[in-house]
């Protein structure tokens, strides 16, 4: 019995090394208490509802860094439940994920913006009998993080944010900022605005918000590439968050999970409603719940209202899509794609998002996501 126990412990240790080589979990997932394998092949409570089905081997995926912390949790729980399956998600950027998907090097891609018509056309070469579709899987607020010595609470509106990120407002004590922050002592300090260096769906969602809510002050098209002059660039949401955390006088945009994990204060947004709205999962959910499906067929791309003034609805939100083929998926990874994404869209998979700073997909929409995953071929 002692020998068997030693062998099991040795196998578990080797398995842990293999997992760490495939995916480096963030601090958000490192102290996760949602469950895992017992070391004896049995499943703990949290993992017990995972249907591994016919999943096997390695599944590669890449894309959105916005969902990295959510993906870390999903991968950790899924791999604990499904022995012999390895999920390797490379959190690069939405743009890189779509390119990898259309080149056929990944089983699915994560993107913070729905596929463009030309990207759908490209996907048909890889999907063969079908095309790429968008499955909304992760919601949440795009937080505006800042670091300003002596200031721990800050309110801004869309026009002011547009001018800051367009280098039109250059000092923290600018009258436009002061007007929104009565009683706050703002320093005569230069603003250092950080943006993403690579093509990013988070950038595109910020552009959609500014273009919709401040059309007179933000004249740029909502694209994945940062459009405005000035500012400083950093790689990935993690890179922007790290710069904001380190530099006094800085401001930047990234998903709430990065602000929470690094203890970065975030801007409340004045939407024109009764009170400014905090960047929280609950407030983002209120905005996402009003979204409508604009995709056709099996495509579930959403139409978000960035100009909402509903009480408590945080308007600067994004939805991350998992991009898959509706048909024509690779036979060697299809079962694993369906099994893993089914877990991510399950009640358990969505439930763990809130504590990580994300917002679950509304139930009515998520029901369609599950149905579509089940019909992938």
Token pair for 255? 């998903």
Rounded Cα distance between 166 and 230, Å, is 7
pLDDT at residue 299, rounded to an integer? 97
pLDDT at residue 25, rounded to an integer? 32
| Chain segment 39-65, per-residue pLDDT in tens | 323 333 345 579 999 999 999 999 998
| Chain segment 173-193, per-residue pLDDT in tens | 999 999 999 999 999 999 999
Query: In the predicted model, is pLDDT for residue 34 greater than 90?
Result: no
pLDDT at residue 341, rounded to an integer? 98
pLDDT at residue 19, rounded to an integer? 36
pLDDT at residue 181, rounded to an integer? 98
* pLDDT averaged over every residue in the chain: 88
Query: In the predicted model, is pLDDT for residue 325 greater than 80?
Result: yes
Token pair for 226? 């940062």
Give Cα separations from 370 to 335, 345, 361, 365 (angstroms).
14, 6, 11, 9
Going by pLDDT thresholds of 50, 70 and 90, the confidence category of residue 6 is: very low
pLDDT at residue 226, rounded to an integer? 97
> DSSP label at 179?
H
Q: Within 13 Å, how many C-alpha atoms sit on residue 289's CB side?
A: 12
pLDDT at residue 20, rounded to an integer? 36
Helices (H), the chain: 2-22, 27-30, 68-81, 94-102, 117-127, 158-165, 175-180, 201-213, 236-246, 256-262, 281-288, 331-345, 347-351, 363-374
Q: What is the mean pLDDT of residues 328-332?
A: 94
Rounded Cα distance between 81 and 84, Å, is 10
Query: In the predicted model, is pLDDT for residue 264 greater than 50?
Result: yes
Say which range, 36-45, 91-100, 350-359, has the weakest mean pLDDT. Answer: 36-45
pLDDT at residue 354, rounded to an integer? 87
Q: Going by C-beta distance under 8 Å and a sequence separation of 6 or more, which residues neighbour residue 29? A: 69, 72, 73, 76
Token pair for 101? 């998907």
């Amino acid at each position: 019995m002692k020998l068997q126990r030693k062998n099991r412990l040795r196998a578990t240790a080797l398995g842990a090394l293999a997992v760490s080589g495939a995916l480096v979990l963030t601090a958000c997932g490192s102290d996760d208490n949602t469950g895992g394998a017992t070391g004896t092949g049995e499943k703990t409570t949290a993992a017990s509802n995972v249907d591994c089905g016919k999943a096997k081997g390695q599944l590669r995926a890449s894309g959105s860094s916005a969902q990295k912390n959510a993906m870390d949790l999903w991968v950790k729980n899924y791999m604990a439940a499904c022995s012999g399956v390895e999920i390797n998600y490379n959190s690069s950027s939405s743009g890189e994920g779509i390119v990898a998907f259309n080149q056929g090097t990944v089983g699915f891609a994560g993107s913070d913006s729905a596929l463009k018509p030309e990207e759908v056309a490209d996907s048909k070469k890889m999907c063969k009998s079908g095309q790429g579709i968008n499955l909304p899987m992760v919601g949440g607020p795009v937080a505006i993080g800042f670091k300003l010595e002596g200031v721990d609470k800050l309110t801004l509106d869309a026009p002011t944010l547009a001018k800051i990120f367009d280098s039109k407002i250059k000092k923290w004590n600018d009258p436009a900022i002061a007007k929104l922050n009565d009683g706050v002592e703002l320093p005569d300090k230069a603003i250092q605005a950080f943006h993403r260096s690579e093509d990013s769906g988070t950038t595109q969602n910020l552009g959609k918000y500014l273009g919709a809510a401040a059309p007179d002050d933000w004249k740029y098209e909502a694209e994945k590439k940062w459009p405005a002059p000035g500012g400083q660039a950093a790689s990935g949401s993690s890179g922007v968050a790290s710069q904001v955390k380190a530099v006094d006088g800085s401001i930047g945009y990234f998903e709430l999970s990065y602000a929470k994990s690094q203890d970065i204060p975030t801007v409340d947004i004045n939407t024109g409603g009764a009170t400014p709205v905090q960047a929280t999962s609950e407030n983002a959910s209120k905005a996402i719940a009003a979204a409508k499906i604009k995709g056709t067929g099996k495509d579930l791309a959403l139409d978000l209202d960035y100009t909402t003034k509903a009480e408590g609805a945080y308007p600067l939100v994004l939805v991350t899509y998992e991009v898959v083929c509706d048909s024509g998926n690779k036979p060697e990874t299809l079962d694993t794609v369906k099994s893993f994404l089914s877990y991510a869209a399950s009640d358990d998979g969505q439930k763990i998002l809130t504590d990580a700073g994300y917002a679950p997909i509304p139930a009515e929409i998520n029901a369609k996501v599950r149905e579509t995953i089940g019909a992938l071929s």
